[in-house]
Structure 1
Amino acid sequence: MTIDAPLDMRPTTAVPPAPANGLLTSPILPTLLNLALPNAIAMVGTTLVAVAETAYIGRLGTEPLAGIALVFPFVMLTQMMSAGAMGGGVSSAISRAIGAGNRDRAADLALHAAMIGACAGIFFTVTMLIFGRAFYTLLGGRGGVLEQAMQYSHVLFSGAMAIWLVNTLASVVRGTGDMRIPSVTLIGTALVQIAVGGALGLGLFGLPRLGMAGVAAGQLTAFTLGAIFLIWYLVSGRSRLALNFKGFKFQRDMFFDILRVGAVACLSPLQTVLTVLIFTKILAGYGTATLAGYGMGSRLEFLLTPIAFAFGVASVPMVGMAVGAGLVTRARQVAWTAGIAAGIAVGAIGLIVAAMPSLWVSLFTSDPGVTAAASSYLVWAGPAFAFFGMGACLYFSSQGAAKVGGPVMAGTARLLIVGGGGAWLASAGAPAWTLFALVGAAMVVYGLGTALSIRLTRWSK
């Protein structure tokens, strides 16, 4: 006769515990820095592409330089919408699903995100091919300058889907907490763009000199290759998400999960572009030297933006996973840590150039009028860079929590202050320094308004 062992003494098969999610348990600041570094490198690389493009377009002549100035706001809008706004919505939805332990949902969200990116790219292609000439004419494009802009625009926006797919799929991978692959992809894309665009635009190495069309073809080629690589990476099983094409079904709630963050966040790039366009139009009435000085000062602001974005993009999966797991207190700690770090990093540089503007201005000009205007801009706006950096970073953190309305409203306030206040000052004949001080005040309002909105908004799973 055999005697059954007591139930609690019977041998059992050990089930290995699920691997811990480091983004939910690791110390916040070191983890943020580890995630932010590859993003910063990739974004600086993207910025250097703009510098390189400007350099070899300058060799094509004055009209091409003026033409690219007309197209640039729309290129910037495409990039900011696909990478920062809708991309943030994609990373947010995926990271919240992973934080809640639902990787199947995260994989399905990735496929829905790809469809959104493809459709948005087609929309940009159709819009710019049909209305591009009207947009550039509205901005003042005429004659040869307009034709140069159209040569670049037609080629570039014919492949807008590639740009959207690269940034959308990179955001999918970032949503899993992997910042390395998106950064490597963007750096590779930047290198290909510089090499191919320069070679085709200037006719190097025996290639035909295609001018502006060749420069745009470089960007189109680079992003097409980047999109192909990211598709391969996600489909090959090497990513942290196992995509299931056979069991895929269209689900309206998944589109809504992405769009309720990404679509609202798309208002922020629109506000940024409008702010730049309106303020540039206002300053044009103050003369060439003042306008050039503002452009020189704002260029530094543009180069500092990747620092804030690096911390912000790094915070999205950390906040999203924490919210998905119900760790709302940790999610808020991540957001505040990222915002303060970005504010300190950007603000320190702002204070240095405000105290010694010649460190930056002397790199570009020795013209007394331009130097005076640029120095005045940095003196008045530089101390406010910290608030801009903090606000831009917290905007991304709020995407992780799917609570982006407040930061968008803060951006609206900045637009109204710069547009309305600038127009009033210009009509009153106020000196240029008052306009620069207004820009600084608008940055302070944006940063504090974003922080206040996050403080007052209830975050929950």
Structure 2
Amino acid sequence: MTAAALAPSPATQRMLHGPVLPTLLRLATPNVLGLFANTIVIGFDGYIVGRLGADALAGVALVLPLAMLMLQMSAGSLGGSTTAVVARALGAGDAAEATRLAQHALLVGLAASLLFTLLAASPALYAAMGARGGVLAQAGSYASVLFAGASAVWSVNVLAGIARGTGGMAAAAGALVATTAMHLVLCPLLVFGAGPVPPLGVAGAALSTVTCNALAALGLLAWLSRGGQRVRMIGSPWRLQATVFRRVLALALPSSVNPFLSNGSIAVATAYVGGFGTLAVAAYGIAARPEYILVPIAFGVGSALTAMVATNIGARQPNAPSA
């Protein structure tokens, strides 16, 4: 039996025929819980790095807008677009097309991660933002590790978007919760060291982020490759097609404008504040974190709604099912 011949999954059936509000709440609840775990990481990292001193906090504050740009583009712009195209194909009953779209989206994410590795890891960028001395050293140490592992961040968020498109909100949320749980243990260990583990400082926080995201990505990839899955990442042939890339990018590129504008404005403001000294940058970095905490909660509901709407559009039933 081919992927296209499989019957709609229970999750797809609920999105197509279930009552709107209960179905939305059922999908959004694990999403919000999973993405709320991301907010814990944002605050926790600020606390851990803050214990290293003002230079460390200021250095990470300079990198934060680019780190959040990567997160929002991978999870929101490309991840959300992937949810939409996969859900729409499954709503139309074409699991083979959903798999092709998922595979191409993952490759787009890996290509985008390479851009971040090439452009955002260099200390020269943070020097151009006004970093000097110890602040520049800390920014360079954190960024070089974080963006060297950018592929892990992009992969886990695109794979989570694919899982949401299939209706697997719990799997996507579970990956985020597992990432957070691992990071809460690994981050302080790598930053401060213990026993045979040497203290790595801010580089340890970045290494923990990369490692935990990589492990979560492998878990999601395994989940999306099981037998009987409507979308199988491994076990289905990979045939690259320009038209499929264009379908993914047609949604992802316009969706990237807002993260660029919001994070770009914070980066400019951070560079401006840098003219007032290390403590000012460190304080601004602390103040900027609560703003980032609001985004994942809203995205939790939005991504569930994206999956529902796209599935119904794919099934050619734009009118809502029973209310």
CA contact (8 A) 1:97 1:324 kept: yes
Q: Structure 1 pair 278/70, CA: closer, same or farther in 2 (3 Å)?
A: closer
Partners in 2 of 1:168 and 1:287 — Cα distance? Answer: 38
1:22 aligns with 2:22: no
1:215 aligns with 2:205: yes
Partners in 2 of 1:138 and 1:171 — Cα distance? Answer: 34
SS of structure 2 residue aligned to 1:204: coil
CA deviation after TM superposition for structure 1 residue 277, in Å: 3.5
Q: Structure 1 pair 314/18, CA: closer, same or farther in 2 (3 Å)?
A: closer
CA deviation after TM superposition for structure 1 residue 17, in Å: 8.3
Whose radius of gyration is greater, 1 or 2?
1
Give the counterpart of 2:107 among 109, 115, 122: 115
TM-score by length of 1: 0.63
Partners in 1 of 2:291 and 2:238 — Cα distance? Answer: 43
2:300 equivalent in structure 1? 310
* CA displacement, residues 79-121 of structure 1 (integer Å, 9 cap, x when unaligned): 0000000111111111111111111111111111121122111
* CA displacement, residues 416-450 of structure 1 (integer Å, 9 cap, x when unaligned): xxxxxxxxxxxxxxxxxxxxxxxxxxxxxxxxxxx
2:240 equivalent in structure 1? 250
Q: Identity of paired residues, percent?
A: 36
1:142 equivalent in structure 2? 132
1:427 equivalent in structure 2? none
Partners in 1 of 2:277 and 2:148 — Cα distance? Answer: 36
1:259 aligns with 2:253: no
1:42 equivalent in structure 2? 34
Q: Structure 1 pair 297/55, CA: closer, same or farther in 2 (3 Å)?
A: closer
1:328 aligns with 2:318: yes
Q: Structure 1 pair 206/109, CA: closer, same or farther in 2 (3 Å)?
A: same
The letter for the 2-side match of 1:46 is N
TM-score by length of 2: 0.88
1:276 aligns with 2:266: yes
1:349 equivalent in structure 2? none
Partners in 2 of 1:34 and 1:191 — Cα distance? Answer: 23
The letter for the 1-side match of 2:156 is V
1:358 equivalent in structure 2? none
CA contact (8 A) 2:117 2:149 kept: yes
1:170 equivalent in structure 2? 160
The letter for the 2-side match of 1:25 is H
The letter for the 2-side match of 1:66 is A
Q: Structure 1 pair 243/164, CA: closer, same or farther in 2 (3 Å)?
A: closer
Equivalent positions of 1:371-386 (< 5 A) are: none
Partners in 2 of 1:35 and 1:193 — Cα distance? Answer: 25
CA contact (8 A) 1:56 1:202 kept: no
Partners in 2 of 1:184 and 1:178 — Cα distance? Answer: 10
The letter for the 2-side match of 1:77 is L
CA contact (8 A) 1:108 1:244 kept: no
* CA displacement, residues 200-239 of structure 1 (integer Å, 9 cap, x when unaligned): 1111344211111112111111111112111211223364
Give the counterpart of 2:72 among 80, 99, 110: 80
CA contact (8 A) 2:84 2:306 kept: yes
Give the counterpart of 2:143 among 138, 153, 156: 153
CA contact (8 A) 1:53 1:198 kept: no
The letter for the 2-side match of 1:127 is L
Give the counterpart of 1:236 among 217, 221, 226: 226
Partners in 1 of 2:168 and 2:264 — Cα distance? Answer: 33
Q: Give ranges in structure 1 of 5+ residues lacking alignment.
A: 1-15, 335-461
* CA displacement, residues 243-293 of structure 1 (integer Å, 9 cap, x when unaligned): 574543212221111110011111111011123344566788999999999
The letter for the 2-side match of 1:113 is A
SS of structure 1 residue aligned to 2:224: helix
The number of equivalent residue pairs is 316
Q: Structure 1 pair 314/73, CA: closer, same or farther in 2 (3 Å)?
A: same
Partners in 2 of 1:278 and 1:147 — Cα distance? Answer: 20
The letter for the 1-side match of 2:117 is T
**Structure of higher RCO (CA pairs closer than 8 Å, 6+ residues apart):** 2
Partners in 2 of 1:240 and 1:173 — Cα distance? Answer: 10
RMSD in angstroms over aligned alpha carbons?
3.0
